[in-house]
Structure 1
Amino acid sequence: MAVKINGRSLRKSLKEYARGIAGGLLFSFPLLYTMEVWWAGFVAEPQDLLVLVIVTYLLLLGYNKFAGMHPDASWPSVFIDSIEEMGIGLLISFVVLLMLNRIQLSGMMIDELMGKLIIEAMAVSIGVSIGTAQLGAEAYEEKKERDNERPSLRDSKRALFVLGLCGAIVIGGNAAPTEEIVMIALEASPDHVFAMALGSLLLSIIVVYFSDFRGTSGLSSKNLVYNMTFDTCLSYLTALGASAFILWFFGRFDGVSFWVGFSQVIVLGVLASLGASAGRLLIK
């Protein structure tokens, strides 16, 4: 009798875990090597870490329900899958940070160790979720057949928002902790900020409607102007919201004027908007 894990065979579960580990490393290695993230873990307050864990878990729930390996699964199964992915993210982060000598098992305060581990693990867990669902050829064929049989949950605006948010955080999160975002914002004039905002909008339109990415072929030409306007605004606002949250978490708004904070959001929004628009097409 085959051993089953969460309703799946042991062999299939091990394959999914392997894809999850690969995805976690693929999408989060830059953060694991970023000094600003280590410092954020050192100074993070417990309530900030709790907020990060809750937001990440909600994001995983949405992703696993709309675009994960088992979109037909019940909510209890989605809850379990999300917890598993966070657990894998914690394990990967612990091993990598220990290997890089960024955490020590002795001589390091527990607050610093847990802060670094949790911040890194939350980013890794999103990569784990994406990798589990996206990196397997067998999984891709199964999902393609299932989507051809009936309308997909991924076609709803709510799903597009969740997938766009995942893409924005994965792409934007790699640059948000760095000093370069602050430097660009401080040196940018209003003309530069306006150009970045306009460029982000144009990039979103190009990616979703004119790039011929996988996932764009089904876009209807009916009401094209309305759909283009709505989808672009939704994608960009999602990117700006994700950018603002990430920058807030890393303390980039502390002690700066409104203009500098606003400029940072627009600067990071260039990357996040690419993640929001391309991500919702590519991580399906």
Structure 2
Amino acid sequence: MKHLLEEEKKINCRPVRKSLKEYARGIAGGLLFSFPLLFTMEVWWAGFMATPMQLLLLVVVTYVLLLGYNRYAGLRADTSWRTIIIDSVEEMGIGILISFLVLLMLNRIQFHDMALEEIMGKTIIEAMVVSIGVSIGTAQLGVSSEDDESRPEEETNDASGTKWSLDMGLVVLAFCGAIIVGGNVAPTEEVVMLAVEAEAIHLLVMALASLFISVVVVFFSDFKGSVEKAPDNLVYGLIVDTCVSYVVALAASAFSLWFFGRFDGVSFDVAVAECIVLGVLASLGASAGRLLIR
């Protein structure tokens, strides 16, 4: 209880300048990761066609992802769940505001011609990806030395006792990365066209390329957060980590394609092909996203 009170006091006493910098980073991240979607016609149509239940499901899924990201990567390991919940709500609110203002600027929201349901649908669909970008931007675009120094040493010393938490964090971050990257392409007709026209050999090559991308990014890219496995664990680590990343990428692809109606009126084979096609991009996002927790 004392720890929570001290943390709450620190949050309440946070300088206005620091808060403004965090908001600025969040806005920059939101725009950086979501501008392609904000300029995509298929997403505008999805906002017009989406049902209230679909929008509610999207909000819930996005909020869970924000909670997961802030728990495992966006905030310090000793941050309370109360702070994580509040920050996630703030990020979603900023995402909604950014989406509304950008769509208004682009003349995609017209109060005299559109029903309230259509305006809300467009804004909510766009805002969900924007809010994930806001969360990433706040945490990653400008980490100060003060933030680095405030990380407790026991965070690294107790790693062996939190393996399950670490694995869950990897899955959550991989899913966030896959949604951010793959979600920009999921609404487009090109995914369906490529899936319909692809032959079995093309799909096999796409799947192998996705696996290869995951291996390169996570193990051999020398990106910040990439890992070097010991020789005796190299093969096992390559197989397990790569398969997890690809499965998460396919799951994110399937969810994105389903939400934007890309499974409507197509056979099961075509739906699977769509997931493999989008999985090439999503696997890149999943692999890069996993590095945020390393």
Give the AA of the match of 1:59: L
Map 1:210-229 to 2 at 5 A.
210-217=220-227, 219-229=229-239
- In structure 1, the gaps of 5 or more residues are none
Q: Is the 8 A contact 2:73 2:292 kept in 1?
A: no
Shift in CA distance, 246/42, structure 1 to aligned 2, threshold 3 Å:
same
Structure 1 residues 280 and 7, CA gap change in structure 2 (3 angstroms)? farther
Q: Which residue identity is paired with 1:17?
A: Y
Q: 2:117 aligns with which of 104, 111, 114?
A: 111
The match for 1:90 is 96
| 3-state SS of paired residue (1:146) | coil
User: Which of these residues, 243, 253, 261, is aligned with residue 263 of structure 2?
Assistant: 253
**Aligned length, in residue pairs:** 281
In the superposition, the TM-score normalised over structure 2's length comes to 0.90
Task: Return the alpha-carbon distance in structure 2 between the equivalents of residues 240 and 256 of structure 1.
Answer: 18
Equivalent of residue 128 in structure 2, options 98, 105, 122: 122
Report the CA distance shift for 1:147/1:260 in structure 2 as closer, same or farther (over 3 A): farther
Distance 1:170 1:93 in 2: 15
> Would the alpha carbon gap of residues 143 and 221 (structure 1) be closer, same or farther in structure 2, given more than 3 Å must change?
farther
1:169 alignment counterpart: 179
1:63 aligns with 2:69: yes
- Distance in 2 (alpha carbons) for counterparts of 1:149 and 1:222: 27
Residue of structure 2 in register with 1:77 after alignment: 83
Conservation of the 8 A alpha-carbon contact between 2:219 and 2:228? no
Give, in angstroms, the shift of residue 282 of structure 1: 4.7
5 Å-filtered alignment, 1:1-284, equals: 6=12, 8-138=14-144, 142-143=147-148, 146=151, 150-151=155-156, 156-217=166-227, 219-282=229-292
How far apart, in 2, do the equivalents of 1:6 and 1:91 lie? 23
Shift of residue 161, structure 1, vs aligned partner: 0.6
Distance 1:20 1:133 in 2: 8
**Contact 1:28/1:123 (8 A) holds in 2:** yes
Deviations 1:142-198 (A, max 9, x none): 347737663267981111111111110000000100111011001000111111011
- The answer to whether the 8 Å contact 1:69/1:132 transfers is no
SS of 1:19's equivalent in the other structure is: helix
CA RMSD of aligned residues (A): 2.1
Give, in angstroms, the shift of residue 220 of structure 1: 4.3
